[in-house]
Chains A and B, each alone.
Chain A
Amino acid sequence: MKQAVKRQIVLPWSQVLRISFNSVRVRLFRSLITTMTLALAVSFVAYTWAGYEILNGVWPHADESLRQSILGAGYEPVDGNFGSGAKDRWLAFLSLLVCVVGIVNAQLMSVTERFREIGTFKCLGALNTFVVRIFVLEAIYQGFMGGFAGSLAGILVTSASLVVKFGWRVVLDYPLASVALTCLETTLLAVLLSLLGVIYPALVAARMQPAVALRAEA
């Protein structure tokens, strides 16, 4: 018997991809709520960072009147660079801090309401790692979706608001590369935050005895 027990239990990555993608797709509305918290979190960061990038891009080419109006609007370059001041970093940090709490809460909820499903998976022979893998992958999908949407929104809004403040000349030297990098960074940040929120509840849920997970109210 002991010998027979040593047979395989598997969940290939292709199946993990399929199951977790389906899971996000089917409960799209529910996952959009989680995704929204991520989008909002990074959109503010993207707004701030991309705004500074645009100003940094235009500053060397700006004429005196534009420089005066930028400084007049309250932006302060430190060593000829925007966004590296203590105040700016503090702002980004605070906004992230607030959002992390929201994200952890959203992910915690979305795992908790699926305890029954997790219990069922385990009854059918899923290992703890299968459950964790599925949730981690879902979190990555959501992180990418929310992060990309959020950073895109942030960048668009900051570009638009700068145009409104200073006119079209501010985007003539649009720093495409560094703004794209900001977009990438903030998207990855969202993935990271999403993982941060999901990993603990997923581990807890995966380690439950199936009977305990099944007993949980959905």
Chain B
Amino acid sequence: MKQDADHNVVRLSEVVKTFRMGGNTVEALKGIDLSIRVGEYLSIMGPSGSGKSTLFNMIGALDKPSSGRVFIDEVDVAQLDAYELAWLRCRKIGYIFQTFNLIQVMTAIENVTLPMIFAGMSRDEYLEKGMELLKVVGLAERHHHKPSELSGGQQQRVAVARALANDPAIILADEPTGNLDLHTGEEIISLLKQLSTERGVTIISATHDIKMLNVSDRVVWIRDGRIHRIEDRENLKIRVGEIA
């Protein structure tokens, strides 16, 4: 999967998404063109209501665009059947959410191993790998706890471990630090950065957390359903300096 750096792992072409709310239609995305390279750490920044999360759902094949196309590994997502789409979500993409979205009735280890069960691993394999992943996020000793018995930061770390279950090429994070305090938020960010550099995973994160800027290779600013500007890291440092 990790070939040339020019390879686009995700490409969006004129993506429009409209929602029907009551009688009127709301255009959440008004034509997005975006290419994301392999191994990149990309942040999507923007105020709430700007269409960040909608864009996140489009990139992650969690929802269908009203018009336009989404390519993942140069395959048009609209052309995939339900089975292939499930495969894509299971093997290719790992999701991290603002609200963690762990299965409440399952323990940490069960949450982490679920995608591996879907992927057809044997019990020994998935248990071993699940524990390994929990070790990576530093929660091996709490594998038997339910989400309700874990703190927010710990839940998010379980979610990160779960996102890594099937060695995805892309990790999609929707406001991963939104429900965390400053310190745990930083921990999650550095964990993501570490994964990006060590494993070459493409990280795409929708956020309005300024802390994310320091680790991003590129930042896409969304405003009112359109891409406002895209900045590379070099330019970013100056901007962050100005803010501080």
Please list the residues of chain A having a beta carbon within 8 angstroms of any beta carbon in chain B. Answer: 1-2, 5-12, 15, 22-23, 26-27, 116-117, 119-128, 130, 209-212, 214
Select from chain A the residue with minimum beta-carbon distance to B162. Answer: A124
Known interface pairs A9-B118, A10-B118, A124-B118; A209-B62 also in contact (CB < 8 Å): yes
B137 in the interface (beta carbon within 8 A): no
Tell me which of B87, B88, B91, B101 contacts A120 (CB under 8 A). Answer: B101
- Cross-chain contact B74 with A126 (CB below 8 angstroms): no
Using Cβ atoms and an 8 Å threshold, which residues of chain A touch B97?
A: 214
Point out the residues of chain A lying under 8 angstroms from B136, CB to CB: none
| Nearest CB on A from B156, distance (A) | 14
Instruction: Give the chain A neighbours of B210 by CB distance below 8 A.
Output: none
Indicate whether A9 sits within 8 Å of B63 (C-beta atoms), given known contacts A2-B75, A23-B105, A124-B162: no
Q: Are A127 and B101 in contact (CB under 8 A)?
A: no
CB B159 to nearest CB in A, in angstroms, measures: 10
Q: Does B80 contact A (CB under 8 A)?
A: yes
The answer to whether the Cβ of B41 comes within 8 Å of any Cβ in the partner chain is no
Q: In the complex, what distance in Å separates the CA atom of A211 from the CA atom of B74?
A: 22
Given A124-B114, A210-B89, A211-B63, 14 additional A-B pairs, CB 8 A:
A2-B75, A6-B84, A9-B83, A10-B117, A11-B118, A120-B101, A123-B89, A124-B90, A124-B162, A125-B87, A125-B166, A126-B86, A211-B57, A214-B101
Known: A5-B84, A123-B101, A127-B82. A211 touches B62 (CB 8 A): yes
Contact B74 A125 (CB under 8 A): no
Q: What is the bound-complex CA distance between A121 and B82, given in angstroms?
A: 14
Q: How far is the CA of A11 from the CA of B81 in the complex (A)?
A: 18
Q: Is the CB of B117 within 8 A of A210?
A: no
**In whole angstroms, what is the CA distance A162 to B206 when docked?**
69
- The answer to whether A27 and B105 touch (CB under 8 A), given A9-B87, A211-B62, is yes
Of the four ranges (under 10, 10 to 19, 20 to 34, 35 or more), the interface on chain B belongs to 20 to 34
Contact B62 A123 (CB under 8 A): yes
Cβ–Cβ < 8 Å partners of A27 in chain B: 105
**B104:A117 contact, CB within 8 angstroms:** yes
* Interface residue? B73 (CB, 8 A): yes
Q: Does B120 contact A (CB under 8 A)?
A: yes
Set A5, A15, A210: member contacting B62, Cβ < 8 A: A210
Whether, in the assembled complex, B240 has its beta carbon less than 8 Å from a beta carbon of chain A, the answer is no
Report if B78 contacts A (CB, 8 A): no
Residue contact B86 to A9, C-beta cutoff 8 Å: yes
Give the residues in chain B near A7, CB-CB below 8 Å.
87, 91
- 12 CB contacts below 8 A, A to B, read A9-B118, A10-B120, A15-B117, A116-B101, A121-B114, A122-B86, A123-B89, A125-B87, A125-B119, A127-B82, A209-B62, A211-B62
Is residue B153 contacting chain A, with contact meaning CB distance below 8 A? no
B221: A residues at CB distance < 8 A: none
Contact A22 B106 (CB under 8 A): yes
**Contact at B103–A125, with CB atoms within 8 Å?**
no
In the assembled complex, which residues on chain B have CB atoms less than 8 Å from the CB atom of A116?
101
Bound Cα distance from A21 to B105, whole angstroms = 11
Beyond A1-B73, A8-B120, A124-B115, is A210–B84 a contact (Cβ under 8 Å)? no
Cα–Cα distance between A124 and B112 once the two chains are bound (Å): 10
Give Cα A102–Cα B57 distance, bound, in whole angstroms: 36
Contacts of B103 in A (CB 8 A): 117, 120-121
Closest 3 pairs between A and B when the two form their complex, measured CB to CB:
A125-B90, A211-B63, A211-B62
Closest chain-B Cβ to A170's Cβ sits at a distance in Å of 47
CA–CA, A122 and B95, complex, Å: 11
Q: Which residues of A contact B80 (CB under 8 A)?
A: 5
Task: Compute how far the CA of A101 lies from the CA of B194 in the bound complex, rounded to whole angstroms.
Answer: 54
* Central interface residue in B86, B88, B119, by most chain A CB within 10 Å: B86
- B30 in contact (CB, < 8 A): no
B64 at the interface (CB under 8 A from A): yes
